[in-house]
Amino acid sequence: MNIQSLTQFSLEGKNAIVTGAGRATGLCYAMAKALHDAGARIILMDVSDNVFELAKELGGDAAGYYAVKANLCDMDSLQAGFDKAMEIFENQLDILLNGAGMQYRCDAIEYPDDKWRQIIDINLNAVFFLSQMAARVMIPRGKGKIINVASLTSFNASKRIPAYSASKGAIVQLTKALSNEWAEKGLNINAIAPGYMITEQTTNLVNTEQGQSYTVRIPAGRWGYPEDLDGTIVFLASAASDYVTGATIPVDGGFLGA
């Protein structure tokens, strides 16, 4: 690959919104940094006030990091957050990364209705409505990248997380549905499906008997790290993926193929 080809992966001058980036140990935060390292200006969008401190720690406005607080379960808050983002970016949006997600473990027969509704709201409904808002800005410009975050449970549902499994399975189909409508308008709609990843939430699980039972099923022989998502997320956000749409790309060390 020559140097000219490598410029396809540059995000210089691009504007990106990343939801769910309110924790420095989370996958969304890591993906936001990968997009920024490739040249994009980033709005970190999260319900937590912590998002303002994270943007500041990363260098703030001067470095191309901005923070917007929004409750993804509330349409008024979501719309206000998106409007604020468009004010910051002067109505120029190139990339939307729908990364925010929630999980709750409980036997299906006892699963509380409030948790079900909350997870569907965050993991699925917010993805659709925010994509809709983004598309209204992107379509008139004839280009844009929307990236959704799926999961291994999009393909292999797990016990005791029925709402999460249902929402992530739906993300794969939503990604295809939006691609079918918007690809001809210049938008690329794709998803990334992380495998078993080492984060703050999973660190204590990796070396347990349960964690090791997952490890032996991963052909790569290890769990992933947040930075293992960097290349795929930059690819999907860049011109290098202009003929890729409606796809869900697993980044799982080969788990789904085993």
Which residue numbers are catalytic?
Answer: 164
- What burial class does residue 101 get, using C-beta atoms within 10 Å of its C-beta: 0-12 exposed, 13-18 middle, 19+ buried? buried
197 has which bridge partners? 224
Task: Please tell me the distance from the alpha carbon of residue 72 to that of residue 116, in angstroms, as a whole number.
Answer: 15
Closest CA to 153 of 168, 172, 163: 168
Q: Which secondary structure element, helix H or strand E, spans residue 22, and what is its range? A: none
Task: Please tell me the distance from the alpha carbon of residue 189 to that of residue 229, in angstroms, as a whole number.
Answer: 17
Beta-carbon contacts of 178 under 8 Å, excluding residues fewer than 6 positions away, are 131, 135, 146, 187, 189
Task: Please tell me the distance from the alpha carbon of residue 171 to that of residue 192, in angstroms, as a whole number.
Answer: 10
Number of Cα atoms under 13 Å in the Cβ half of residue 187? 28
Task: Please tell me the distance from the alpha carbon of residue 75 to that of residue 46, in angstroms, as a whole number.
Answer: 14
Closest CA to 194 of 74, 81, 99, 89: 99
